[in-house]
A and B are shown apart, each in its own frame.
Chain A
Amino acid sequence: MGRSAQGDAATAEVARKRQQQEDAAILLVHLLISCANAIQAGDYAAATSNLAAARTALATTVSTAAGIGRVLSHFAAALAQRLIPAQHGAAPNAASSAAHASELYRQFYEAGPYLKFAHFTANQAILEACDGCDRVHVIDLAIMQGVQWPSLIQAFSLRPGGPPAVRITGIGPPPAADGSRNELQDVGVRLAELARALNVPFSFNVVTADSLDALKPWMFQIVPGEALAVNSVCQLHRLLVDQDAASTSLPSPIDAVLGWVTALQPRVFTVVEQEADHNKPTLVERFVNALFYYAAVFDSMEALSAQRLALTGRPAAGGLGAEAYLQREIFNIVCSEGSGRVERHEPLVLWHARFWRAGMWQMPVGPSALGQATALLRTFSGAGFRAHECGGCLSLMWHDQALFTSSVWRAAPPTNTAAGDSILDKQADNGKSSSGSSDHHQAAAAPGGIAMK
């Protein structure tokens, strides 16, 4: 009798503690949002006091070791940075910061299925679109460390009928002036070695540019007859600008880039972007949206590393790097303005309208795409992650929150030569007419559906 009463008391205590922590976290969220509000209103005194209260909470009532407190501490730090920009000493060495960024990217790649989902779904779309072609040319808007391409090369190597000749053009930043290792060349060398081992005819080109909108179609040396694929993983949002900055006579960077991509007439344009609304003009809206988005991402990463710990008995390496990678995004969204803000994530519905205006047509993902993405996620992660298909696109979901969306586009209007194309014709008709459609993506593309600048 006494023991069960003790058990009840213990359970009640645990429940009460959890409620306390939840309340503390909610209070902290309110403090941070109030701080953002105050900054937006120009009331720096109120902002500072809110931030001080938030910091107290982080030091006392809300644990920053794990859970919501961890991501909230990043947002608090971002607000602090915005209020009082830290004075840096000498500017960080360009090469070392590039190497650092590269390492963070690698750790983020390892830490979860996010980039793997992006690469895998894009590769599947490229494989399907280039089926039967003898020569395939892939243009990667940001080759990074080239990790997307080994599995495409391998898939081509086992293609029934033999591999096509594969050509990859990697776009990247110019090599650092101090003569440090040229990462782009290294990527080419390694991809070529892999292709050689797999007996896939292969060549690699590099196009370096500080910004994508300076590029022109002739720079890619397109060979007639090659099947062209353009690939963009989390790059297009970096081209967006503030509304007022976009009202000059020059085309905005995103329109310039979509212009030359369309002019290239690729067989397939694979796009993966964060499924988030972080490009709102007001700080508070961005802040709140980002808070919920990154809370989901951090939550998923934490679940993954707990799972790894349970499976292998060792904590996963590189978790901190992945967190630092995300922290950079958070800081950019919260602290930067104007041309400094590059993490301008927008949801698919807005991208859809942009692509439509640029003359692109959406290609729905194939029937097996969802199953394959699901299989990929199951391999990497336990419960929680899933692939979701909506309107012909694939999203990576953490529970009910979409984190990344992968979509496929082509420039030319589809020809009515194959059974698969008739779906595209139907979509094209839906897009042209302004009658209501149950597919919200199509509705967004209808004339007057979204007021774009």
Chain B
Amino acid sequence: MCMGGPPAPPRQEENEPVLEVRVQLLGGGGAHNINDNADILSEILARLDGRSLAAAAGVCRLWAAVSRRDAVWEELCLRHVGPASGPAAAGHATRTVVAALGGYRRLYRLCLGPALDRLGRAGALAHAQARERLSLSLSLSLFSIDCYERLGGAGGGGAAGRQQPPSSLLFLCKPVDVS
């Protein structure tokens, strides 16, 4: 599929239909459609900011499916973490951990997105500056707490009857009661 050059990244407040038209024009005519190839669509959506990406899910079924791919959100997250996070940030180990905790889309929604919002409003920080201040390890710390709290059920009350987990998974020794 020949595109005649990479599509320009859309501006933040761009309406989705306008994006589609621009890409079609660059494609040199009506022969190619952005929706023909989910992977190309994925490449494009991965360049959106968080808000636009979340909005993209409402365009059509294909966009909903593609914009929910965790790999798309992974790109978005990695774009926003600072250089201090190191090369390991993009590695397999991190991906495994994030997947176990709930995925990059959730990580962005719960940790990175709100942090970016706060930094953005905190005082007219340039986008690059804001990026430097976000640390992946810090976000993962917060994400793991969120995952833990979800494990317990709602708040401090918890579910009425918790199922006993398989004993092979845990080593709960008899509590030593010295009261």
Residues of A in contact with B (beta carbons under 8 Å apart): 99, 102-103, 106, 120, 123, 145-147, 150-151, 153-155, 157-158, 160, 173-174, 181, 184-186, 188-194, 196-199, 203-210, 214-215, 219, 221, 310-311, 372, 375-376, 378-379, 382-383
Q: Mark B162-173, 1 if CB is under 8 A from A, else 0.
A: 100100011111
Asked, given contacts A174-B177, A190-B151, whether A158 binds B94 with beta carbons under 8 Å apart, the answer is yes
- For the complex, give the distance between the alpha carbons of A144 and B165 in Å: 21
Asked if B119 is at the interface (CB within 8 A of a chain A CB), the reply is yes
Contact partner, A375, options B114, B133, B143, B176, Cβ 8 Å: B133
Closest chain-B Cβ to A141's Cβ sits at a distance in Å of 14
Asked if B117 is at the interface (CB within 8 A of a chain A CB), the reply is yes
Contact A194 B177 (CB under 8 A): no
- For the complex, give the distance between the alpha carbons of A157 and B165 in Å: 22
**Residues of chain B with a CB closer than 8 A to A181's CB:** 158
Closest chain-B Cβ to A163's Cβ sits at a distance in Å of 10
Contact B137 A103 (CB under 8 A): no
Asked, given contacts A158-B140, A193-B165, A311-B121, whether A206 binds B172 with beta carbons under 8 Å apart, the answer is yes
Chain A contact surface mostly: helix
Closest chain-B Cβ to A354's Cβ sits at a distance in Å of 24
**Residues of chain A with a CB closer than 8 A to B96's CB:** 199
Asked, given contacts A150-B145, A158-B94, A186-B158, whether A205 binds B101 with beta carbons under 8 Å apart, the answer is no
**Residues of chain A with a CB closer than 8 A to B118's CB:** 311, 379, 382
Closest chain-A Cβ to B80's Cβ sits at a distance in Å of 13
In the complex, what residue of chain A is closest to B170 when comparing beta carbons? A192
Asked, given contacts A151-B145, A158-B88, whether A106 binds B140 with beta carbons under 8 Å apart, the answer is no
In this complex, the interface size class of chain B, counting residues with CB under 8 Å from chain A, is 35 or more
Closest chain-A Cβ to B91's Cβ sits at a distance in Å of 9
- For the complex, give the distance between the alpha carbons of A188 and B151 in Å: 12
Contact A207 B175 (CB under 8 A): yes
**Residues of chain A with a CB closer than 8 A to B115's CB:** 379
- For the complex, give the distance between the alpha carbons of A185 and B177 in Å: 13
Asked, given contacts A103-B156, A186-B162, A206-B176, whether A198 binds B97 with beta carbons under 8 Å apart, the answer is yes
Closest chain-B Cβ to A151's Cβ sits at a distance in Å of 4
Residues of B in contact with A (beta carbons under 8 Å apart): 88, 93-94, 96-97, 100-101, 114-115, 117-119, 121-122, 133-135, 137-138, 140-145, 147-149, 151-152, 155-158, 162, 165, 169-173, 175-179
Contact B170 A204 (CB under 8 A): yes
In the complex, what residue of chain B is closest to A219 when comparing beta carbons? B176
**Residues of chain A with a CB closer than 8 A to B140's CB:** 151, 154-155, 158
Asked, given contacts A150-B148, A219-B178, A376-B138, whether A205 binds B173 with beta carbons under 8 Å apart, the answer is yes
- For the complex, give the distance between the alpha carbons of A209 and B142 in Å: 30
**Residues of chain A with a CB closer than 8 A to B177's CB:** 174, 208-209
**Residues of chain A with a CB closer than 8 A to B147's CB:** 150, 194, 197
Contact B179 A174 (CB under 8 A): yes
Contact B152 A375 (CB under 8 A): no
Closest chain-B Cβ to A392's Cβ sits at a distance in Å of 22
In the complex, what residue of chain A is closest to B174 when comparing beta carbons? A206
Contact partner, B97, options A123, A157, A173, A379, Cβ 8 Å: A157
**Residues of chain A with a CB closer than 8 A to B171's CB:** 203-204
- For the complex, give the distance between the alpha carbons of A197 and B103 in Å: 13
Closest chain-A Cβ to B110's Cβ sits at a distance in Å of 12
- For the complex, give the distance between the alpha carbons of A123 and B142 in Å: 13
Closest chain-B Cβ to A320's Cβ sits at a distance in Å of 14
Closest chain-A Cβ to B128's Cβ sits at a distance in Å of 16
Contact A190 B122 (CB under 8 A): no
- For the complex, give the distance between the alpha carbons of A382 and B88 in Å: 29
Asked, given contacts A106-B156, A210-B179, A382-B118, whether A204 binds B141 with beta carbons under 8 Å apart, the answer is no
Closest chain-B Cβ to A160's Cβ sits at a distance in Å of 7
- For the complex, give the distance between the alpha carbons of A376 and B135 in Å: 9
> Across chains A and B, which 5 residue pairs bring their CB atoms closest together, nearest first?
A151-B141, A154-B144, A206-B175, A150-B148, A203-B171
Contact B142 A207 (CB under 8 A): no
- For the complex, give the distance between the alpha carbons of A124 and B148 in Å: 19
**Residues of chain B with a CB closer than 8 A to A383's CB:** 122
Contact B158 A189 (CB under 8 A): no
Closest chain-A Cβ to B135's Cβ sits at a distance in Å of 6
Contact B145 A185 (CB under 8 A): no
**Residues of chain B with a CB closer than 8 A to A379's CB:** 115, 118, 134, 138, 142
- For the complex, give the distance between the alpha carbons of A205 and B172 in Å: 6
Contact A150 B144 (CB under 8 A): yes
Contact A208 B138 (CB under 8 A): no
- For the complex, give the distance between the alpha carbons of A191 and B141 in Å: 14
- For the complex, give the distance between the alpha carbons of A359 and B117 in Å: 47
**Residues of chain B with a CB closer than 8 A to A207's CB:** 175-176, 178
Known: A174-B177, A181-B158, A194-B144. 11 other contacts (CB 8 A): A106-B155, A106-B156, A151-B141, A154-B97, A155-B137, A191-B148, A192-B170, A197-B147, A207-B176, A219-B178, A375-B138
